[in-house]
Amino acid sequence: MESLRKAVIADEMADSVAEQDSNNQRVVAYAPTPQDAKLCARILKENEVAVCCCETIDSFAKTILEGAGIALIAQEHLTDAAIAQLKVSLDQQPKWSEVPILVLLQAGDPDSKLLKRILSLEHVTLINRPLRIAVFINTVRAKLRDRMRQFEVRDLLLEKDRVQTNLRREARRLDMAIQAGGMAAWEWSKTHVYWSNAFRQLHGFGKDVQPSESAMFASIVESEREQIAQQWTAAIEQNLPFRSEFRISHPKHGERWLVAVGEPVKSKSGKTLRYTGLQWDITKRKAAEMELRQSHETFQRLITENPQGLYVVDADLCVRYVSAGARSVFINVDPLIGRPFAEVMNVIWPKAFADEVVKLFRHTLDTGEPYAAPPLVEQRVDTNETEAYDWSIERIVLPDNRHGVVCHFYNNTQRQQSVDLLRESERYFREIADASPAMLWVTDENHMCTFLSKSWYDTTGQTRVEGMGLGWTNATHPEDHERAGEEFLTAAKAHKPFFSEFRLRRADGSYRWAVDVGRPRFDSEGAFVGYTGYVIDVDDRKAFEQSLKQAKVVAENANRSRGEFLANMSHEIRTPMAAILGHADILKDHLKDPDNIQVVETIRRNGNFLLNIINDILDLSKIDSGKMQLETERVRPDGLLAEVRSLMDVRASEKHLPLKIEFDGPIPDLIETDAVRLRQILLNLVGNAIKFTDSGEVKILVRYEGLDDSAGVGKPQDPFSSKRPSASTCRLIFQVVDTGIGIKPEDQMSLFEPFVQADSTSTRSFGGTGLGLAICRRLAHALGGDVAVESTYGRGSKFTLTIEAVSSGRLVVPNLLIDVSAEKVKEEIQISANVLVVDDRRDIRYLAQHFIEKAGGNVTTATNGQEAIDTVFGHPKSEIDLIVMDMQMPVMDGYEAAAELRRRGCELPIIALTANAMKSDRDECLAAGCTDYTTKPLDSQKLIAMIDRLLKS
């Protein structure tokens, strides 16, 4: 039976089921002969039996597969091949289908072997021939009835399976629903307790806990355990459903809320057999309920304690909540809460207005449409006072999930008074603005002009309509129109103050310069609300500024002319001075007579003195013009002082003056400064001290001031700034003290001005240009310090030099025994080269040629840059190894010549020769294409050493 059931299930989805059902009562016949087939068909049809006659074994087998109630076949057709073919067709039948086969035997006894083969087909019934019609018909009908019962059994099994499948499906759905809802199943009877796995997880029970009533109640929190147990006992005693909510102590999740439901399962007699039920976690629901209660309480508290005007009317149009800020309005209504809203309104306001308000509230409650009322000004019925309110209403959902209407109102009686005051203030403002000589204006948050004072209209001739928005810009000069508008809008978009200058058209059509100044306005909350500003006439100031600019141009041209004059003067004086000193050196080499040598030394000494004067003038000029550049290097302070003493000892000895150097404590071993400029200052100060002291002594006191806080050390600083160094820097202080003639107090203030000395007597007695101290102070400023003087006339002076000392951080004991005066004996440098000397001065060419040829070189000369180019690239081509060229020459100067030589591909070393001595001059020469740089007067050793170095490189 089970196999038949499975067969039915397997065949349930077969496509041919419907067709088989329609053919399950027909006879498929393969008669002995065609005549027998016709006879058989007639007999069966007369007995209301469907028949299908076949003419071949193939069609017979195929028709059985299509559906047959009975298969009828003559014995003579059942050959071995036919039997095998029929078995194949029968095996393809559904397993529940057992097709009856009627075999019409031939007359006589059948062969046993043949009979055995026929019976191997299964479900075979043998019918002897000749046929007895009644018996044959009865047999056919009996087999058809059996066949019908097969289909009925199939339908019963199929229906049963459908029911079971649906039950299993519903069971699965129920199980999925229970799992999805987090539900846990349980069963209880007096003899047995069942917990599902979900139940164990819900309570946190391990596998070692046996299901029991006591274990389950033990998980309930102690404060609720007895109450729940009593509810359970009452339910099972009365055979009633059980439902309860309680808290448990979960071993992992702590306190959780659960709900338990159970239904009694009863027998047919009504006796309760067991309880089945579910439990699930409702912790989140409980939390939500708690939040809802708190929300309701909060809602009520927010309204009732709100200081603003606020009240709520419920769905029955009764007053439900009233804020603290609204109680004063309803002070004459008692009771208030729960009272019909219409009664409350009629207590306060006139009936017509009260009825209109109630109508509006009802409309909002029914439709949900909010309503914002126009400003209310009405006389109250209860107080006879006129009050003004702004109010609006909207529908809300109350905690009981019903609709209500909330009314927000604001007593603006005082605000109305403020508006009146504001209008009065605005009137005062306009009167003040119209009386002001400045043209006042105001814009809104969109940068459009909303106010212009009367003076604007009087000045420009614009009307009020023309000036509003951006129309005010039309009063500006056409050339300033776009710029003035952009300057204003750019500042306005950033909400920043702005300043603009433009030419403003006056009412008579003329233009005058004006300044427009504006500042952004913000309200009390910081929101931008526009600009306020003013326009004033500055045409007279602009004219003055223009005159100042013209004066500045004149001054700059004059300063430039002075610089060019000083540069030319430097060249014109240095060049012949170079010739004088150079020829004096040559002459000295040829003299033996001491008197003649002394004459030459006098020439050299006075020439050097004249050069010093020229250098002072140039230094002062270049410092004032900002062209002086410091060349910082690491230097030993004590070594530099030893060098100064070595240089000045001779002059001090000539006047029998001791030159002392004293140190007040240790000093840095190395400092970073411009050693050349520091030496220049010290030599000038010590030289002046010796010059103006006839008896006594000259002393240099040195002190180092280092601070723990060195935050200011090493900061970049303008080298020509007049500002004093920061107090936080480390300083090196040099005090030059003498016992000379001193300086009068009235002369000390101007002592550091250029070309100024104490008095004309000093100039005549001691000489000098009065530039030394001016240069010293400017150089001291460049070194981050200053020069100051303290003096008592007739007793002596003290000059204090302070410089910024960026040190290595290590302090040492000063050492003045460093021998810096002894020069190393330099070896005579010999060169073997062809040198082109280019200078427009014959004496300079002669000097350079003399120095070079004395060192072993050959010299070719040229008088200007063009001649130099022709010499280098001429035919036949000269063999030139190096070029020494003056930078200032007629026809073509050195700068142009060097650039042209480089442009033509000349790679020879070029030494620039110039009377200028600044680093910027050197950079200008190198930029033109020169290789190196030297100055006039010519130093023979320096020139020969430079030529030798460049030739070797």
What CATH number does residue 559 fall under? 1.10.287.130
580 domain residue, yes or no: yes
Note the pLDDT of residue 187: 92
Report DSSP state, residue 15: T
Residue 220 bridge partners (DSSP): 248
**557 pLDDT band (50/70/90 cuts)?**
confident
623 pLDDT higher than 70 = no
Burial of residue 252, with CB atoms counted within 10 A of its CB: 0-12 exposed, 13-18 middle, 19 or more buried: exposed
825 domain residue, yes or no: no
d(CA 785, CA 950): 39
Q: Are 674 and 638 a contacting pair, CB within 8 Å? A: no
Burial of residue 724, with CB atoms counted within 10 A of its CB: 0-12 exposed, 13-18 middle, 19 or more buried: exposed
Express each pLDDT in 709-737 by its tens digit: 443 333 334 433 434 334 346 889 999 99
Note the pLDDT of residue 1: 43
Same domain, 446 and 392: no
**770 or 350: whose pLDDT is higher?**
350
Whole-Å CA distances, 389 to 356, 375, 412, 415, 799: 16, 6, 5, 10, 85
472 pLDDT higher than 70 = yes
d(CA 863, CA 886): 9
* Mean pLDDT calculated for residue range 33-61: 90
Least-confidence region, from 266-275, 652-661, 752-761, 822-831: 752-761
288 pLDDT higher than 50 = yes
Note the pLDDT of residue 917: 53
**182 or 531: whose pLDDT is higher?**
531
Q: Number of structural domains, the chain?
A: 7
Express each pLDDT in 910-930 by its tens digit: 999 887 655 567 788 999 999
Q: What is the CATH number of the domain that holds 943?
A: 3.40.50.2300
* Domain C-terminal end among 604, 627, 650: 627
617 pLDDT higher than 70 = no
Angle at which helix 341-348 crosses helix 351-367, to 10 degrees, equals 150
Share of the chain above pLDDT 90, in %: 25
**241 pLDDT band (50/70/90 cuts)?**
very high
Share of the chain above pLDDT 70, in %: 82
Residue bearing tokens 């087909």 = 121
Note the pLDDT of residue 835: 94
d(CA 408, CA 394): 9
Scanning 245-400, the segments in alpha helix (DSSP H) are 283-304, 324-327, 341-348, 351-367
Same domain, 787 and 840: no
176 domain residue, yes or no: no
829 domain residue, yes or no: no
Q: Are 853 and 843 a contacting pair, CB within 8 Å? A: no
Least-confidence region, from 131-135, 146-150, 298-302, 774-778: 298-302
Q: Are 920 and 630 a contacting pair, CB within 8 Å? A: no
Q: Global pTM?
A: 0.37
708 pLDDT higher than 70 = no
Whole-Å CA distances, 879 to 302, 363, 835, 867: 107, 116, 9, 15
> Residue 383: which domain range?
297-411
Q: Are 768 and 695 a contacting pair, CB within 8 Å? A: no
770 pLDDT higher than 60 = no
Q: Two tokens at 528?
A: 């931008």
Note the pLDDT of residue 727: 35
d(CA 308, CA 325): 5
**783 pLDDT band (50/70/90 cuts)?**
confident
228 pLDDT higher than 80 = yes
827 domain residue, yes or no: no
d(CA 814, CA 210): 99
* Domain C-terminal end among 537, 569, 584: 537
Note the pLDDT of residue 713: 35
820 domain residue, yes or no: no
Report DSSP state, residue 278: E
Same domain, 458 and 438: yes
Least-confidence region, from 60-64, 427-431, 851-855: 427-431
Same domain, 805 and 856: no
d(CA 163, CA 158): 9
Work out the widest C-alpha separation in the chain, in whole angstroms. 187
End-to-end CA distance of the chain: 118
Same domain, 654 and 803: yes
Distance of CA 808 to the CA centre of its chain: 42
753: Cβ contacts below 8 Å, ≥ 6 apart:
774
Report DSSP state, residue 311: E
* Mean pLDDT calculated for residue range 798-820: 81
**242 pLDDT band (50/70/90 cuts)?**
very high
- Rg, Å, the chain Cα set: 63
Note the pLDDT of residue 120: 85
Least-confidence region, from 7-16, 504-513, 872-881: 7-16
Burial of residue 913, with CB atoms counted within 10 A of its CB: 0-12 exposed, 13-18 middle, 19 or more buried: buried
885 pLDDT higher than 90 = yes
Note the pLDDT of residue 825: 43
Q: What mean pLDDT, rounded, does the chain reach?
A: 82
* Mean pLDDT calculated for residue range 160-167: 78
Note the pLDDT of residue 720: 37
Least-confidence region, from 94-108, 288-302, 345-359, 507-521: 288-302
Same domain, 767 and 888: no
3-state secondary structure 177-191: HHHHCCEEEEEECCC
d(CA 459, CA 508): 9
Same domain, 432 and 402: no
d(CA 885, CA 835): 10
**620 pLDDT band (50/70/90 cuts)?**
low
Rounded-to-5 percentages of helix, strand, coil across the chain: 45, 25, 30
Least-confidence region, from 565-569, 794-798, 902-906: 565-569
Same domain, 274 and 313: no
858 pLDDT higher than 90 = yes
Same domain, 674 and 785: yes
Note the pLDDT of residue 365: 92
Note the pLDDT of residue 54: 93
* Domain C-terminal end among 216, 250, 281: 281
d(CA 901, CA 896): 9
832: Cβ contacts below 8 Å, ≥ 6 apart:
856, 857
Q: What is the CATH number of the domain that holds 256?
A: 3.30.450.20
**392 pLDDT band (50/70/90 cuts)?**
very high
**174 pLDDT band (50/70/90 cuts)?**
low
Contacts 24+ apart (CB under 8 A), 648-655: 648/683, 648/686, 648/687, 648/690, 651/687, 651/690, 652/690, 652/698, 655/690, 655/693, 655/694
Sign of CA dihedral 897, 899, 901, 903: negative
Residue 62 bridge partners (DSSP): none
Q: Choose among 605, 426, 444: nearest CA to 527.
A: 444
**186 or 20: whose pLDDT is higher?**
186
Same domain, 517 and 612: no
Note the pLDDT of residue 356: 92
Note the pLDDT of residue 433: 64
Same domain, 334 and 477: no
480: Cβ contacts below 8 Å, ≥ 6 apart:
502, 503
Distance of CA 598 to the CA centre of its chain: 80
Q: Two tokens at 278?
A: 């579910």
* SS3 (DSSP) at 574: helix
122 domain residue, yes or no: yes
Same domain, 862 and 756: no
Least-confidence region, from 615-629, 691-705, 739-753: 615-629
Cα angle, residue 49 at apex, residues 48 and 50 outer, rounded to 5°:
120
849: Cβ contacts below 8 Å, ≥ 6 apart:
837, 859, 861
**327 pLDDT band (50/70/90 cuts)?**
confident
122 pLDDT higher than 70 = yes
* Mean pLDDT calculated for residue range 193-203: 89
d(CA 816, CA 272): 124
316 domain residue, yes or no: yes
